[in-house]
Amino acid sequence: MTGQAAALRAGTDNGSVSGEGQGSAFARSVSALLERTEYRRCESGEDLEAIYRLRYKAYKAYGLVGEAENERICDAMDDTPNSYRFGVFIDGELVSTVRLHHITAAEPWGPVMRVYSDMLEPRIAAGETFVNPGQFTADPSVSGSFRLLPYLTLRLAVIANTYFDSTSCVCLIRDEHVAFYKRIFGSAQVGLARPYPPFTVPVMLYESNCEENMAKTVARYPFFRSTFAERRLLFQRPDADELAPLTVLPTAKYRVAA
């Protein structure tokens, strides 16, 4: 068992995870694993290369992409100014990654716009804004302990929606993930299945309205809470003469205590 898998297994072995919600053994397990978790915004160098290679490793393992000689997955959406690429580390080891886009009229870029621009452009023009999580992948070696990783990783999407005060969180979702997004985030389908090359399966557009769902989601899952300091460190762009933080430690426990 790798170090990542051992860490995740420890997070599920200290109690039942059948109940989801505040005070449940499951919520305590996620919160305990957050103690060993670091978020790293990856913008250059080895960290960025590592998440590109992790994407390929995960998608290839599940048959979602074909062979690639360079064994990495990245696209033009990685380099837009509203793109935020994160690595999630447990005990110093990269276990998962996610990319977030904050879509506005000034910066209208994101994977959802490549597929559903006809539906979203009128809403953006009317003043709505969106957070679009994508490229969420996890190291296949921890797939046996995958239960907690979506919560640790997509916590970043919850924080982004809070920080940017977005209208909705919009996602391109494959059929097998629909139940998770409905249950956790109250997401609803707003777009029929469409192709999304280079992936070999179609995707659907799902939306979670923040005004309707955010408070309920955070109340049910207290590990989604964050302090303003954490939100700023994760998403505020540094000035030209400032360095971005290397890692950011989750603050849910401090927010709950407060």
The DSSP code for 252 is: H
* pLDDT tens, position by position, 54-86: 999 998 888 888 777 788 999 999 999 999 999
Tokens at residue 78, please? Answer: 């990685």
Asked whether 189 and 181 are in contact (CB, 8 A), the reply is no
List b or e across 179-190, with b for residues whose CB sees 16 or more CB atoms inside 10 angstroms: eebeebbbbeee
* pLDDT tens, position by position, 174-189: 999 999 999 999 999 9
Q: What does the pLDDT read at residue 249? A: 80
Per-residue pLDDT of the chain (258 residues; tens, 9 = 90+): 444 444 444 443 333 344 566 558 888 888 888 999 999 999 888 989 999 999 999 988 888 887 777 889 999 999 999 999 999 999 999 999 999 999 999 999 999 999 999 999 999 999 999 999 999 999 988 855 657 889 999 999 999 999 999 999 999 999 999 999 999 999 999 999 999 988 888 999 999 999 999 999 999 999 999 999 999 999 998 765 555 556 788 864 444 444
Q: What does the pLDDT read at residue 57? A: 92
Backbone angles phi, psi at 145, to 5 degrees: -120, 35
